[in-house]
Each structure stands twice: as C-alpha cells, then as structure tokens.
Amino acid sequence: MRVLVTGGAGRLGRSVVAVLAERGHDVTSVDLSPEGPPVPGVRHLRADLLDEDARAEAFARTRPEGVVHLAGIAVPFSRPDTVILDVNTRLAWAVLKAAVDHGARSAVAASSPTVLGYGADGWRPAHLPLTEEHPVLPWHAYGLSKVIVEEAVRTLARAHPGACAFASIRPGYVIAPEEWAGAPTQQGHTVAERLERPELAAASLFNYVDARDAAELFALVLERPGAVAPGQVLHAVADDALATEPLAELLPRFHPGTAGLAARLTGTAPAFSSARARALGWRPRRLWRAELGAADRGR
C-alpha cells in the first residue's frame, strides 16, 4: 500500500514510518523538518501542508492509498492557545479531506487522551478505567483541538460513506525507543525520573505507550479499514501503569476526584482501557519494566 505519513519526522512519526516500511508498505513522510526519518526506503518530502499548493503537490506525487495524520503541535501549552487551535484543526481537516479527494481508501488521525479532561481542577471521571465512551471534557486548547480533530474524522466519515475509512487513535504518553535508554521524554525528563517522582507521571494519569506499539495500531487500522466502524476512536495505551505503586493508591493522592473509583485499579492496572484496540488484535508488547531492564543490561 502507498502510505503518506504527515509528521513522519516526529517522536511518534519515526516509529510509524518504520513499522509501516517493515510491514511492506511504500511509505512517504511529509514534514516541515528538512531531515526525514532515518528509515531505509522511506521517502521524505519537506512541505507545509497548510499551504494549499504544497499539499496538493504532495498528494499528487504520492497518490496515497492510506494516510496517517500525525502532524501538528503535539504539546499542550507549548504555543499560544489560538495558534494550537488554528494549526491543529485546520491541518487535520485539510489533510483528511485531501485523503478522500485523492482516492485514499483509509485515513487515520492522531488524537490524544487529554480530550477526557484530566488535570483540570475538580476533575472527576465518570468511570475507571477510562474507555473511549467516556465524555470528552477538554480544559485547554490542545485538548479542544483534538476533540475537533476527532469530530472532523467523524464528519468526513459521514460525508463520504464507503469512499474512505476514517478513524482516530489516542496514543498515550509516547515513549520513543531511545528514551528507554535515558534520552529525555516529551516533557524533558527521563522515564526513570517519571518513576522516581510520581508527580511527573501523575499529570498524564501514569499512562504511556511505546512509540512502536502505537505505530502498530496505526498500521493495523490502516490495513483493515473494514474492521473499524466509520469515525471510530481507539485508545493506544500500555497494559500497565508507569508507576511503582498501584494506581488505587496514587491516583487519589494527585487527583482527589478519583477517590473510590480508583479502588478497582488493582496491581499494575492502568487508568485507561485499550480493549477496543485489543479486539482488533493489537497488543502493546513493550512494557516499561522489561524495556528499562533491557536498557540497563545494554549499558
């Protein structure tokens, strides 16, 4: 399959293009970065996909049968709110609409678990673990932008039934392969520091996912368009929490609104359910205890 990946040079994008190439796809990365992902056989185009002419040229050159949309501002509060909303929402609509206009059979966009609103003062979840059916309650511009991305996916699925299979994936706190060995994570500290100082991982409810595992779900959804309902949302989160204590104890400490509900998260259970993705055959295989252990043995 010819696949176009937007944001292919990013933290998640590098793994997505690598996994797709390993699975035999013809992959092109499109990114603002002049440096493409270091993956043999993957082509790279430098383009601003908000520019109509550049976007049209990229799609005309690649003629994608599948599109993975990852590009955008990836960190809450990293830019002014109006910029985050403008870039993320316009970019998603432009890319996904171009996918159907240029004949792609499937398109999947990256959303975020932050749409559920954790971190807001007084946040109280409707249930734990958190499923895709939980109400969306964004409290910052980044979370709102991802709610709009998901709605754009559903809108296009309704507008073009049968033409292109659309879906959204909410990857957890993405950990790239080099970050297990001590490279800084998205927030500037290491995985080991997130474990040593639980207040760091508490901001994301102790969720995480290895970038390669998340990439495998993007590939699976792209390859099996008929297996996912039109516009469906899927969580991509590891099967354990990024914590050395049970979340039944940790969550109420940092998120008082979870008291009572957190009691059902026994042992190493995470705050998020990825059962919907698991029903498709996805398995998050790279868990923190094994990955950190392997990194330590490799030193």
What's the pLDDT tens digit per position in 267-278? 999 999 999 999
Residue 196 lies in a domain: no
Question: To the nearest whole percent, how much of the chain has pLDDT over 70?
Answer: 98
Q: What is the pLDDT of residue 298?
A: 65
Do the Cβ atoms of 166 and 220 come closer than 8 Å?
A: no
Residue 30 lies in a domain: yes
Residue 293 lies in a domain: no
Closest of 17, 20, 18 to residue 7, by C-alpha: 17
Q: Domain containing 54 — which CATH number?
A: 3.40.50.720
- How far apart, in whole angstroms, are the C-alpha atoms of residue 191 and residue 6? 26
Q: What is the pLDDT of residue 293?
A: 83
How far, in whole angstroms, is CA 187 from its chain's centroid?
16
User: Of the ranges 82-86, 158-162, 241-245, 290-294, which one carries the lowest mean pLDDT score?
Assistant: 290-294
What mean pLDDT do residues 218-237 have?
96
Q: Verify whether residue 142 is a known catalytic residue.
A: yes
DSSP H or E segment with residue 6: strand 2-6
Residue 221 lies in a domain: yes
**Confidence bin at 299 (pLDDT 50/70/90):** low
Domain count, the chain: 1
How far, in whole angstroms, is CA 12 from its chain's centroid?
8
- How far apart, in whole angstroms, are the C-alpha atoms of residue 221 and residue 230? 11
Residue 101 lies in a domain: yes
Higher pLDDT, 296 or 84: 84
Residue 104 has pLDDT above 80, yes or no: yes
- Point out the catalytic residue in the list 118, 142, 173, 208: 142
Q: CB burial class (10 A; 0-12, 13-18, 19+) of residue 110?
A: buried
Domain that holds residue 91: 2-188+207-239+272-287
Residue 77 lies in a domain: yes
Residue 113 lies in a domain: yes
Residue 52 lies in a domain: yes
Q: What is the pLDDT of residue 85?
A: 98
